[in-house]
Amino acid sequence: MPAQPNILLVLSDDHGQWSLGCYGNSVVRTPNMDFIGSSGVRFDNAFTPCPVCSPARASLFTGRIPSQHGVHDFL
């Protein structure tokens, strides 16, 4: 039986790819995130169903869009 995958999901507010060294930012130092990005999977083309953090997270955790799960604003 194959080993279970080791998954690390990192969520943060207003933290776009522009703010990580592994995506080319030479000003901000992010060595730990750079290491995780270089040794795992990076998503170079990802989108959110909503630009507000709470509805976007609720969508991630439920698999539904905001009009279906009912979270429409900050919690």
Q: Quick one: pLDDT band at residue 14, thresholds 50, 70, 90? A: confident
Question: For the residues 5-23, what does the mean pLDDT come to?
Answer: 83
End-to-end CA, the chain = 41
What local confidence, expressed as pLDDT, does residue 32 receive?
A: 92
How far is it, in rounded angstroms, from Cα 55 to Cα 48?
10
Greatest Cα-to-Cα distance within the chain, rounded to the nearest angstrom: 44
pLDDT in tens, 29-65: 999 989 988 888 888 788 888 888 899 999 999 999 9
Domain spans in the chain, listed from the N-terminal domain onward? 15-44, 45-75
How far is it, in rounded angstroms, from Cα 44 to Cα 17?
8
Closest CA to 46 of 3, 2, 11, 4: 11
What local confidence, expressed as pLDDT, does residue 12 receive?
A: 78
